[in-house]
Structure 1
Amino acid sequence: MKIIVTSIFVEDQDKALEFYTETLGFVKKHDVPAGAYRWITVVSSDAQDGTELLLEPNNHPAAQEYQKKLFADGIPVTMFGVTDIQKEYERLVERGVEFTMKPTKAGEVTIAVFDDTCGNLIQIIEQ
């Protein structure tokens, strides 16, 4: 068994797709109508057959509450791995990404946290 799709709730699917592809550099894998919304997934540009990230609409009240509380408490909803966190931090800052935590040593890893503009905090990690 392996993880093939994981999801995050987003406030606006179009805005999320733009941020995750144009700002972060992920590649759109699927964009299929699904009722009033769409099934939109993105993948890492260097692992296009890897795990897909579903940009799921937060239209359910429970999803909205979950998302708001995690954000308010400063809890990232997911983590992405990077090779060089300082370089990635600088690249994203140049693209206007706002970080709530700059690259910080945490034991044997270095982490940073940014706002995805769609209601979530995302952690990046360099191991």
Structure 2
Amino acid sequence: MLSIKNTFSSFSVNDLEKALEFYSETLGLSVTKDEMGFLNIDLPGGDRAIVYPKGTDHKPAVFTVLNFVVGDIEEAVDTLTSKGITFEQYEGNIETDEKGISRGRGPLIAWFKDSAGNILSIIEEYE
């Protein structure tokens, strides 16, 4: 059997300094740069994500790379909107309201993009 000791997520960005500013200042996460120049984002619960530079070869992810669970999605959307975040608007299989919140089946969820165009989400805590 495979003995897994830890897990982490990783994704690329086109501009590491813009990503550092976005994740630390806009989202308020603890972010450090390691010896290889990668960003280590400390996530709630003890997890982490690694962000690495790809420069002009970066292609934004077309899927959600990070999901943030929040207690109140309305408050979270309002807070991030006040910091300049624009929430994605979807129609079809997934529909969002004027604030960008999907209120269909499953949890309340809203998607937005980071400084490199990668898709992130906030999800209201549910049972």
Interval containing the TM-score (normalised by the shorter chain): 0.7 to 0.9
User: Over aligned residue pairs, what C-alpha RMSD do you find?
Assistant: 2.1
Query: Cα distance, 1:2 vs. partner?
Result: 5.7
In the alignment, which residue of structure 2 is the partner of 1:114? 112
In the alignment, which residue of structure 1 is the partner of 2:24? 21
Greater helix proportion:
1
Q: Is the 8 A contact 1:4 1:51 kept in 2?
A: yes
| TM-score, normalised with respect to structure 2 | 0.76
Secondary structure of 2:28 counterpart: coil
Structure 1 segments unaligned to the other structure (5+ residues): none
Greater strand proportion:
1
Residue 95 in structure 1 maps to residue 94 in structure 2: no
> Across the two proteins, how many residue pairs are aligned to each other?
112
Query: Cα distance, 1:21 vs. partner?
Result: 0.9
Structure 2 segments unaligned to the other structure (5+ residues): 90-99
Residue 39 in structure 1 maps to residue 65 in structure 2: no
Identity %: 29
Secondary structure of 2:39 counterpart: strand
Query: Cα distance, 1:12 vs. partner?
Result: 0.8
Question: Which structure has the bigger radius of gyration?
Answer: 2
Q: Which contiguous aligned blocks of 4+ residues in structure 1 show a shift greater than 6 angstroms?
A: none
Residue 83 in structure 1 maps to residue 79 in structure 2: no
